[in-house]
Structure 1
Amino acid sequence: MYVLLVVAIVVFGVFVWLKQPQYVAPECDAGSESALYRDGQFSNPVAPAPVSSGRSRSVLAMWYRFLFLKPKDAIPQQALPSVKVDLHALSLTDNVIIWMGHSSYFCQVDGYRFLVDPVFSDEASPVPGTNRAFKGSNVYHAIDIPEIDYLLITHDHWDHLDYPTVSQLRDKIRHVVTPTGVGSYFRKWGFPESVITEGEWFSTVEQGDLTLHILPSQHFSGRLFKRNPTLWGSFAIITPHHRLYFGGDSGYGPHFQEIYQRVGAFDISVLECGQYDDDWPRIHMTPEQTARAASDLHSTALLPSHNSKFKLAHHAWYEPLERISAASQHHSWRLKTPRIGERINIDDPQQVFTDWWRNQ
């Protein structure tokens, strides 16, 4: 009797917990409008498996390793040396990118302001107390953000789409741009329909002399139990004077060359460089693959992301930056390795950054 009562209380508690806004289910029926949408879900053209045990482990063993085992130096022993720029004090003539850790970016270019995948919460997980941000890595909050012309969300994973963050930013956001289906989260969170734009790969959003391209990536989606209910992607920001690429999450694939062929070269490419693992070799890039992707995009500079804030894979926290530094030696593009929060001057190709991770 008591066991049944406890079970009933637990079940009811989980039911109530899942009614919170961050757990809303997306709504997407792309139908025949999308070549990537079949049988109620999206897929990659190359169709890589999201996870595949590279060491012949069982799925259960793989998840145990992911959740409970920690490699050496997976988490920094001391606070990271981040800095904080007063974003409200920036002149609109300043062309800058601010890396906010992991895959979150503030970008101001030619008078337009953008936020890309902002996550200001202390956790990148639906389970409290897990995937906590490294000390010193979470220095920006909603109050620090000025009005934003475009919020760009690459996909719906917890470390890229954070309900507490976007809800606190609601009154500062003029437009939200996402791949197909991701906009439905914002509708359910009370954002007006008029500010939300969704699109398939290679669709565009235009305003004056600004063109935003929604572009491919090789990844997957889903926040709880349903796999691939919304599309994932990347973005290009094109103005008459600047060409920026934000790659989101992606494994290495032919889509980088296709993006260059259809959109052109980039001044700065922001590409994931972290959270790679033998168990998911096709949905995240190794640093060496990141270097190759930067060359495929004919980038002038590479800004590596998806590292130094959360532990989501089995490598030392500093390994992605160490390996991309080595991999960049024989390429024509310039590697940019700012500290979290450090101002990156888009118009200064000679700006120098330190190997800050080596002093931790």
Structure 2
Amino acid sequence: MLLVFIVITIIGVFLFMQLSPEFGGKISDDQEETFKASSQYSEGKFHNPGNVRMEMSFSKMTKIAKAYFNPQENTVPENSMPIVRNDAAEINNYAGPARLVWFGHSAFLLQIDAKNILIDPMFGDVPSPHPWLGTKRFSDGLPIEIQQLPKIDAVLFSHDHYDHLDYGSIKKIKDKVAHFYVPLGLGAHLKAWEVPEDQITEMDWWDTTSFKDLKIIAAPAQHFSGRGFGDRDNTLWASWIIQGKTDNIYFSGDSGYGDHFKQIGATYGPFDFAMIECGQYNKHWKEIHMMPEESAQAAKDVNARVAMPIHWAAFKLALHPWTDPVVRFLEKAKELNLKVVTPKIGEKIIIKEPAKVQKWW
């Protein structure tokens, strides 16, 4: 009976991965041929400079497993996280100075120059291909429900991991989005989810495009990609620069610490505001996720006037206490004389207002 159960389980997992739309699309041979023009692409995969990657040795996996079964305290909030609810009419009619609304983790609504931009809009409850495979969102609901969002001029995605690119969210927002900007290859997922190809622009690092009065630049990040077995690094990952009439904004996506931050700062800084990955880290995978002290240094490297730690306060994807990212980030920022904002989820952030730290957690 045990053997029968194992066989049925294996068949079930195989069929789920083959048939579930959550896993996205496949890269075509024609697409793969175009990737060869990218400096990041070789031998059928995308790579970080210096071929930096997360290596999971048996020893590392053993240590991670041991930590997983002996977790630290406070890895999730004791109660549902409070959020600031937004008035849909006010959001829909806003035409003031550039501002952000944070949905937790790395998801934002950017309202700039009378345009609405979504950044890594993961609005689902669990960042995984199935609800059983992840920890639920820390808050009940969102600052503004998806159906209440205004018409979206553009969406930017940093990479294809489940906590950033969510099938359910795409299905709900795609009909109100004018255009999607994504790293190379990620468009295959969107097309599989019925986003028209002419509404998708794929970009390599340092590619620049104009969208109405905005300039959008894809910049380097030190990470990886993949949604299922056998597709690791088939699509590129990126950070983003958004330049409006008077605002210069940086979004780090997910990244390990590296020289690319100084390069970005030297080329496109200073930035009025930088959203910097800070959370879901571990010393065993620091190549692809920064430790909080490195996150603060990265904000300094890109020459940010004000920085905001992101990639925390929504999901448990690592083993550290859930408040550690922001606490450690603030300690290092003080040492670096870096101005920081720490808004509540849903609170409106005016890009050029004075920085304000709120220890709401």
TM-score by length of 1: 0.92
Cα displacement (A) at 1:128: 2.5
Q: What is the rounded CA distance, in whole Å, between the counterparts of 1:289 and 1:20 in structure 2?
A: 37
Counterpart among 287, 305, 308 of residue 300 in structure 1 = 305
Work out whether residues 80 and 134 of structure 1, in 8 Å CA contact, stay in contact via their aligned partners in 2: no
Inter-CA distance 25–171: structure 2 relative to 1 (3 Å threshold): closer
Indicate the larger mover: 69-78 or 34-43: 69-78
Inter-CA distance 178–68: structure 2 relative to 1 (3 Å threshold): farther
Matched, 1:333 2:338: yes
Q: Secondary structure at the match of 1:303?
A: strand
Matched, 1:92 2:91: no
Counterpart among 253, 261, 264 of residue 259 in structure 1 = 264
Inter-CA distance 217–47: structure 2 relative to 1 (3 Å threshold): same
Work out whether residues 98 and 247 of structure 2, in 8 Å CA contact, stay in contact via their aligned partners in 1: no
Work out whether residues 102 and 308 of structure 1, in 8 Å CA contact, stay in contact via their aligned partners in 2: yes
- Superposed CA RMSD in Å reads 2.0
Q: What is the rounded CA distance, in whole Å, between the counterparts of 1:69 and 1:212 in structure 2?
A: 44
Q: Secondary structure at the match of 1:174?
A: strand
Matched, 1:22 2:25: no
Cα displacement (A) at 1:281: 1.4
Aligned counterparts, 1:43-54, within 5 A: 43-52=47-56
Matched, 1:152 2:151: no
Q: What is the rounded CA distance, in whole Å, between the counterparts of 1:236 and 1:202 in structure 2?
A: 10
Cα displacement (A) at 1:25: 3.8
Paired letter, 1:192:
P
Inter-CA distance 87–325: structure 2 relative to 1 (3 Å threshold): farther
Q: What is the rounded CA distance, in whole Å, between the counterparts of 1:66 and 1:37 in structure 2?
A: 35
Question: For residue 138 of structure 2, what is the aligned residue in structure 1?
Answer: 135
Q: What is the rounded CA distance, in whole Å, between the counterparts of 1:60 and 1:321 in structure 2?
A: 26
Provide, for residues 58-93 of structure 1, a one-character-per-residue CA deviation record: whole Å limited to 9, x for no partner.
Answer: 254245347544221111111222112124423122
Q: Secondary structure at the match of 1:266?
A: coil
Q: Secondary structure at the match of 1:14?
A: helix
Work out whether residues 274 and 308 of structure 2, in 8 Å CA contact, stay in contact via their aligned partners in 1: yes
Counterpart among 222, 244, 249 of residue 249 in structure 2 = 244
Question: For residue 61 of structure 1, what is the aligned residue in structure 2?
Answer: 62
Cα displacement (A) at 1:52: 4.5
Question: For residue 209 of structure 2, what is the aligned residue in structure 1?
Answer: 205
Inter-CA distance 322–147: structure 2 relative to 1 (3 Å threshold): same
Question: For residue 220 of structure 1, what is the aligned residue in structure 2?
Answer: 224
Q: Secondary structure at the match of 1:129?
A: helix
Q: What is the rounded CA distance, in whole Å, between the counterparts of 2:121 and 2:185 in structure 1?
A: 18
Paired letter, 2:111:
Q
Inter-CA distance 101–32: structure 2 relative to 1 (3 Å threshold): same
Paired letter, 1:342:
E
Q: What is the rounded CA distance, in whole Å, between the counterparts of 1:137 and 1:287 in structure 2?
A: 26
Cα displacement (A) at 1:288: 0.9
Q: Secondary structure at the match of 1:185?
A: helix
Query: Any stretches of 5+ residues in structure 2 without a counterpart?
Result: none
Query: Any stretches of 5+ residues in structure 1 without a counterpart?
Result: none
Inter-CA distance 37–67: structure 2 relative to 1 (3 Å threshold): farther
Counterpart among 319, 325, 347 of residue 314 in structure 1 = 319
Q: What is the rounded CA distance, in whole Å, between the counterparts of 1:73 and 1:232 in structure 2?
A: 31
Counterpart among 172, 178, 199 of residue 174 in structure 1 = 178
Aligned counterparts, 1:31-42, within 5 A: 31-42=35-46
Cα displacement (A) at 1:275: 1.0
Indicate the larger mover: 21-30 or 166-175: 21-30
Question: For residue 78 of structure 1, what is the aligned residue in structure 2?
Answer: 79
Q: What is the rounded CA distance, in whole Å, between the counterparts of 1:208 and 1:99 in structure 2?
A: 24
Q: What is the rounded CA distance, in whole Å, between the counterparts of 1:66 and 1:165 in structure 2?
A: 32
Work out whether residues 179 and 200 of structure 1, in 8 Å CA contact, stay in contact via their aligned partners in 2: yes
Inter-CA distance 66–193: structure 2 relative to 1 (3 Å threshold): farther
Work out whether residues 233 and 248 of structure 1, in 8 Å CA contact, stay in contact via their aligned partners in 2: yes
Question: For residue 107 of structure 1, what is the aligned residue in structure 2?
Answer: 110
Provide, for residues 249-298 of structure 1, a one-character-per-residue CA deviation record: whole Å limited to 9, x for no partner.
Answer: 00110001111222221000000011110110111111111111111111
Q: What is the rounded CA distance, in whole Å, between the counterparts of 2:277 and 2:189 in structure 1?
A: 24
TM-score by length of 2: 0.91
Question: For residue 125 of structure 2, what is the aligned residue in structure 1?
Answer: 122
Indicate the larger mover: 254-263 or 325-334: 325-334
Work out whether residues 300 and 332 of structure 1, in 8 Å CA contact, stay in contact via their aligned partners in 2: no
Counterpart among 334, 355, 360 of residue 359 in structure 2 = 355
Indicate the larger mover: 282-291 or 6-15: 6-15
Q: What is the rounded CA distance, in whole Å, between the counterparts of 1:117 and 1:243 in structure 2?
A: 18
Provide, for residues 74-121 of structure 1, a one-character-per-residue CA deviation record: whole Å limited to 9, x for no partner.
Answer: 111112221121244231224210110111111101112111111111
Indicate the larger mover: 184-193 or 8-17: 8-17
Q: Secondary structure at the match of 1:334?
A: coil
Cα displacement (A) at 1:153: 0.4
